[in-house]
Amino acid sequence: MADSSFDIVSKVDKQEASNALTQAQKEIEQRYDFKGVGASIDWSGEKVLMKAASEDRVLAVLDVFQSKLVKRGISLKSLDAGKPFASGKEYRIEAELKNGIEQEQAKKISKIIREEGAKSIKSQIQGDELRVSSKSRDDLQDLIALLKSKDLEVDLQFVNYR
């Protein structure tokens, strides 16, 4: 019998992120507390750039964006937002949407699989994702439940289940 397998990935749906950003832009344009503070949010290459006249207003812009991401089903673990910094007369926050599992995180996940998963499960790191295989599909499903229960620093998706 062939091994069953699946991949553990961490990817953000670019279209959903873009929709969340558009919704945040609309809310910022319409809300009374953002009038006259130069509040804005937009793409800056691959990053999201938030601007406002004061530090607390730019943090409020970030809060609006985070709420829109959550409503669209994107985990906040995928958002890497920096600290507010002054740039001329305005404050800015640069945020990045993380794709892929970093090497260090992949090693942590691999260690959890080795130590807490069933003995028949094998995992291997392939670039920015992990391939997990086992002869028993039940063991793989137990592993998915185990990883979902762990509080990891990355948002995980389980794909290509065969």
Q: What is the pLDDT of residue 21?
A: 95
Check for a shared fold between 4-11+101-159 and 14-97. yes
Query: What is the residue extent of each domain of the chain?
Result: 4-11+101-159, 14-97
Residue type, 134: S
Distant-in-sequence contacts of 118-127, Cβ < 8 A, 24+ apart: 118/142, 118/143, 126/7, 127/100
Q: How confident is the model at residue 57 (pLDDT cuts 50, 70, 90)?
A: very high
* CATH superfamily entry for domain 14-97: YajQ-like, domain 2 (3.30.70.990)
**In this predicted model, what pLDDT tens digit does every residue of 85-137 receive, in sequence order?**
998 889 999 999 988 888 888 899 899 988 988 888 888 888 888 999 989 88
Q: What is the pLDDT of residue 95?
A: 93
Instruction: Decide if pLDDT at 2 tops 70.
Output: no
- The CATH code for residues 4-11+101-159 is 3.30.70.860
**In this predicted model, what pLDDT tens digit does every residue of 12-47 receive, in sequence order?**
999 999 999 999 999 999 999 888 888 999 998 889
Phi, psi at residue 80, to the nearest 5°?
A: -110, 90
The rounded distance, in Å, linking the Cα atoms of 50 and 48 is 7
